[in-house]
Amino acid sequence: MSQLLRVEGISKEFPGVKALDGVNFELDRGEVLALVGENGAGKSTLMKILSGIYSPDAGRIVIEDQEVDVTGPKAAQQLGISIIHQEMNLMPHLTVAQNIFIGREPRTGPWLRDAELNRRTKQLLDDLGVHLLPTQNVGNLTVASQQMVEIAKALSFEHTKILIMDEPTSAISISETQVLFRLIRSLRDRGVGIVYISHRMEELHQIADRVTVLRDGQYVGTRRMDDVTDDEIIAMMVGREISAAYDDRQEVRTGSADVVLSVRGLSTKNLLRDVSFDLHRGEILGFAGLMGAGRTETARAIIGADPMSAGTVTVEGRELHISGPNVAVKHGIGYLPEDRKRHGLMLEQDVTFNVAMASLSANKTPLGFLREGRARRVADSFIKSLRIKTPSNRTNVKTLSGGNQQKVVIAKWLARNCDVLIFDEPTRGIDVGAKEEIYKLIKQLADDGKAVIMISSELPEVLRLSHRIVVMSQGRVTGTLSPDKADQESIMKLATQNIEEVAA
């Protein structure tokens, strides 16, 4: 193998922050290099330097033994570097072909040659073994297929030699991930060098040849994937050992008297069919399944964020008609959404503002004046008890890390004193170290008698925390497992159970 890309001593400073400090790595032709590090470790900054969005303060970038200066995204493309960003940059109303060749449409004078465009796209997709029609609208594709389009687009530039992928699997299901991996392997076999950024350990073992670890903007080291264990990588990332405390779940009484939330026959117009389960006091009920299995939809239907077409929700023995989240909150059900930034937080507002959001009615005078002092004291008490790392309760939540933002959302519901907490992907996009704290917190909440629903796509986390695991597939509950009898395989079997024929 020959060397494709070498990065030497790259440093980049922002006002007050040293984002990168002398970072090195090398990428060979036909290699998948995993780049890992906690949030804020400098991965994104490094990628932005390689794609020409930032210019480095110091250091060299060498491509095929030539020192290069990446002056901008266009220059990066010409040097053969393509990046697939975490947020996709596709135009949903255009077709696959139009997206791939945007700005480079084959044309005669001012006239577009659509037939040629579609022919070239088809050839490209066939080459990659991607089964998509060039004329499909991108907006109608699944996230995973959109990712394929992004990859095809990146590779449609003739000289693409280096492909950088920023958390490509964060929004796609396990089976779709396998398709993506096949594509990555075939690219690798063709000599493309791939930098693969991810948080998910199990993926790295599947796909990466080597792993480079960054911490606090500094280069920690590079290991061959075959010679390193997950714990070693995590230790490199966080700079200390993390001991995972397994199996200290408290006993939960599952008598009918302890049922806090009971759902029967819940259905929605589009997806859910006859979803039923009971949630007990002090229980952590895990919800596993593939993307689109209906877990988030179940949560949203329970709290009334989306309408249900059939079924009942019973809280503390009383059957309720929950017409909206405001009614759910009145009955002590809090939902912590999957997409914290879009659905959980006011990013432009401070910690106190966010913590107070769900409990404002308790924090105002009869005339509607806010008790600002009390709200700040409440926020301070949660900053202390949940160990939220923030300079003060007046700090803008946008500046906090993912883990601390999640704690602010948790504090919001604790301030409201909810009995039922529905966590949707509680650790998505959160550092390894902070994950442990969130786990501890969820466990503590259950031990204190709260009833917890935990929706998660990370099976190890479901297996580790749950008292029982509900598995969903295609809008139905396909099984309820106890964690000592469940493992990843048995969950996956239920999660991939095809019930389309039955449904039809």
Partner 1 sequence: MTTQRTDEDLADAGTQSPPGESVAAAGARTGRFAGLGQGLQQMLAFGTLIALVIIFFIASPNFLTISNLSSILLSTAVIGILAVGTTFVIITGGIDLSLGTAMTLCSVVTGLLLANAGLPLPVGVLGGIAMGALVGLINGFNVAILGLPPFIATLSMMLVAQGLALVLSGVRPIYFNDVPGFSRIALGEIIPKVPNAVLILFLLALVAGIILRKTILGRMTYAIGSNEEATRLSGINTRRWTLAIYTLAGVATGVAGVVLAARLNSAQPQLGVGYELQAIAAVIIGGTSLLGGRGSILGTIIGALIMSVLINGLRILAIQTEWQTVVVGMVVLIAVFADNLRKRRAEGGAHK
Residues at the site binding partner 1, with contacts judged by CB under 8 A = 14-16, 52-55, 71-72, 303, 305, 324-326, 328-330, 334-335, 337, 342-350, 353, 356-358, 360, 364, 367-370, 372, 391-392, 394-396, 399, 412, 416
**Contact (CB, 8 A) for 198 and 208:** no
User: Residue 232 corresponds to which amino acid?
Assistant: E
Contact 447, 374 (CB under 8 A): no
Closest contact distance (angstroms) between CB of 370 and partner 1 is 6
CA atoms within 13 A of residue 357's CA, in its CB half-sphere: 22
- Nearer residue to partner 1 within complex by CB, 145 or 393: 393
Kind and range of the H or E run holding 288 = strand 284-289
**What's the gap between Cα 177 and its chain centre?**
13
Distance separating alpha carbons of residues 357 and 360, to the nearest angstrom: 6
**Smallest separation (angstroms) from partner 1 to the CB of 16:** 6
In angstroms, the Cα distances linking 346 to 165, 275, 303, 397, 424 are 29, 32, 20, 8, 18
In the bound state with partner 1, the residue whose beta carbon lies nearer, of 348 and 501, is: 348
Reduced to 3 states, what is the DSSP secondary structure of residue 257? helix
- Nearest distance from C-beta of residue 59 to partner 1, angstroms: 16
> What is the smallest separation between the CB atom of 358 and partner 1, expressed in angstroms?
5
Of the pair 360, 492, the CB lying nearest partner 1 is at 360
Distance CA 386, CA 442 (A): 11
Query: Smallest distance, Å, CB 250 to partner 1?
Result: 29
Q: d(Cα 210, Cα 202) in Å, to the nearest integer? A: 14
- Give min distance, CB of 350 to partner 1, in A: 4
Q: 56 or 483, CB closer to partner 1?
A: 56
Between 280 and 295, name the residue whose CB sits nearer to partner 1.
295
CB closer to partner 1, 54 vs 423? 54
* Cβ 333 vs Cβ 418: under 8 Å: yes
Tokens found for residue 375: 């709200």
Residue closer to partner 1 by CB (options 16, 110) is 16
Judged by CB, which is closer to partner 1: 140, or 392?
A: 392
Q: How far is the CB of 398 from partner 1 (least distance, A)?
A: 8
Residue 419 Cβ vs partner 1, minimum distance, rounded to whole Å: 14
| 152 C-beta neighbours (distance < 10 Å), count | 22
Antiparallel, parallel or unpaired: β 468-473 and 284-289: parallel
> In the numeric block, which tokens belong to residue 33?
């290099």
Closest distance of CB 469 from partner 1, Å: 25
Please name which of 477, 496, 498, 500 lies closest in space to residue 488, comparing C-alpha atoms: 496
Of the pair 122, 371, the CB lying nearest partner 1 is at 371
Helix or strand holding residue 119 (H, E): helix 114-128
